[in-house]
Amino acid sequence: MNRNRAHFMSFDLVFFGGTGDLTWRKLMPALFQAFRHGKLPAGGRILAVARDEMSDERYREWLKERFREVDGSKRPNDEEFERFAALLHYRRMDLSQPEHYQRLKDWLDERSADTVVLYLATSPHLFTQICQQLGEAGLNHERVRVVLEKPLGHDLASAQEINAVVRSVFKESQAFRIDHYLGKPSVQNLSALRFGNALFEPLWRRESIANIQITLAEELGVGTRGAFYDGTGALRDMIQNHALQLLTMIAMEPPSTNDADAIRDEKLKVLRSLKPFTPESVARDVVRGQYRAGTVGGVAVPGYLDEAKVPAESHCETFVALRTEVQNWRWAGVPFYLRTGKRLAARDAQIVINFRPVPHPIFPGTNQANRLVIKLQPEDGLELQLLAAKGGAHGEALSPVSLDLDFDKAFATNRVGAYERLLLDAIAGRLNLFVRSDEQEQAWRWVEPILDAWKQDSTGPRPYTAGSWGPAAASALVARDGFHWSEEA
Ligand code: BG6
């Protein structure tokens, strides 16, 4: 009954930064998909706010133009766009002007929708100002939710500062911190795999698992984002949030319920159990790299230092590989390797669980073991590598064979994309896939000693050729434990 009610709930969704890249590249296309799939609750209004003066009509035309750049099957046809555009509105807003927030409030008060979602898709340095002004305008009442995009802070202190302001205006239950990796279908499936099946849980521990590898590899370089990226780097851009969130989903204890706080309590425990870095362990267990010119997908590409808006002497890392451990009974001694980079050999995001080999091998010549691969990109799926006899001569060595699960085929339906999922969840008030402030701060706390050690180390990142798998030191990091990255098999 609740579900039905939710479906007819009215909502107003406001995008601050309504003409920004994130809005037109990711958020509007995702909303359109939700609309097309009939998942967007009826009775919604979508309001974009930004600095430019534009009518609703002009904004709709502008967005229609932008949609031409959205990839094929996700692009609306004219008739679909017309129907979607009927939900779209635009207002000019100067974010420093209190009376503009008052005008926004008046617009929202015209009809007092059941839910008001305020999505801050602006540059993060505006977050505190916007939140304060929203509070002063009374736009923090119980029907309001605020969605915050990463990066949330630059380090622990700045993240705490933002969170303090957010907390002074909104309750934690009103704050939806986005990590879009949590919305990816495979990540939701990870929860289902672990806590909806009895099969894996008994094996999901140090006794059966040799090591875990999380790879978030991109073919793209920094493109036009040089100025932003150079002040950020791969550790802040991908490891502090996406990679660590994936790690928590793998390593967490089964939560007692499927409620947001039960899940987030368990994830926080994992973050608190991560082995802290020291200057010595950073030197030993963390590899940073920066791409040089090379070839990616058959195309010659420039090195990082030749990208637009990147300073010639930059020490910004475009690659990180690290080794860590989760220091608790379940995981003691099991290496977790995390790796991310731009301009790598493939767009490939996956989590590989390498099981231990059998304790007493009776078949000749095999040192292989079971492996579970949770694929996030380019396609989502699940692959379980088993060892099997091909048949034939007695005593033949075992060969690996894969049970390859393609969810698209299995469910024969359009999978819900990450932003679509997260926007729908924000509208429905479901916090499960959003990051709580204490998780986010703990992730910064863990990452900071790496940033500090790098500041002291003038040698800078190791060069790697675009189109490779990063510096050779990243392979050595894993080889030291007697393992290898999955593509090196
Ligand atoms: C973003 C990073 O959070 O994630 C980008 O800021 C990165 O640098 C992107 O390219 C990767 O996301 P996806 O979903 O394309 O793997």
Q: How far is the CA of 232 from the centre of ligand 1 (A)?
A: 13
pLDDT for res 124: 86
CA 441 to chain CA centroid, Å, is 16
Q: Which two tokens stand for residue 237?
A: 């851009």
Going by DSSP bridges, is the β-strand pair 209-217/175-177 parallel, antiparallel, or unpaired? unpaired
pLDDT, tens digit, 9 for 90 and up, residues 37-51: 999 998 899 999 999
Cα dihedral across residues 198, 199, 200, 201: positive or negative: positive
To the nearest 10 degrees (0 to 180), the angle between helices 185-196 and 244-251 is: 20
Domains of the chain: 11-149 (3.40.50.720), 182-417+436-488 (3.30.360.10)
Atom 15 (ligand 1): residue with closest C-alpha? 218
Atom 8 (ligand 1): residue with closest C-alpha? 237
3-state SS, residue 148: strand
Q: How far is the CA of 228 from the centre of ligand 1 (A)?
A: 13
Probe ligand 1: pick from 123, 150, 238, max atoms within 8 Å of CB? 238
Atom of ligand 1 nearest to the CA of 376: 16
pLDDT, tens digit, 9 for 90 and up, residues 427-482: 999 999 999 999 999 999 999 999 999 999 999 999 999 999 999 999 999 999 99
Q: Cα–Cα distance between 22 and 452 in angstroms, integer?
A: 30
Q: Which two tokens stand for residue 399?
A: 């060969």
Global confidence as pTM: 0.95
pLDDT for res 366: 65
Q: How far is the CA of 78 from the centre of ligand 1 (A)?
A: 30
Q: ∠ at Cα 85 (28, 34), nearest 5°? A: 45
Which residues of the chain fall below pLDDT 50?
1-6
Q: Cα–Cα distance between 442 and 430 in angstroms, integer?
A: 22
Atom of ligand 1 nearest to the CA of 347: 16
Q: Cα–Cα distance between 128 and 95 in angstroms, integer?
A: 11
Atom 9 (ligand 1): residue with closest C-alpha? 238
Cβ neighbors of 68 (< 8 A, separation 6 or more) are 75
Short-list 463, 459, 458, CA closest to 305: 463
Read off the DSSP letter of residue 90.
E
pLDDT for res 5: 44
Q: Cα–Cα distance between 358 and 203 in angstroms, integer?
A: 13
pLDDT for res 367: 75
pLDDT for res 114: 94
Atom of ligand 1 nearest to the CA of 242: 3
Short-list 206, 251, 177, CA closest to 356: 206
* Ligand 1 pocket by Cβ (under 6 Å): 180, 218, 237, 349, 377
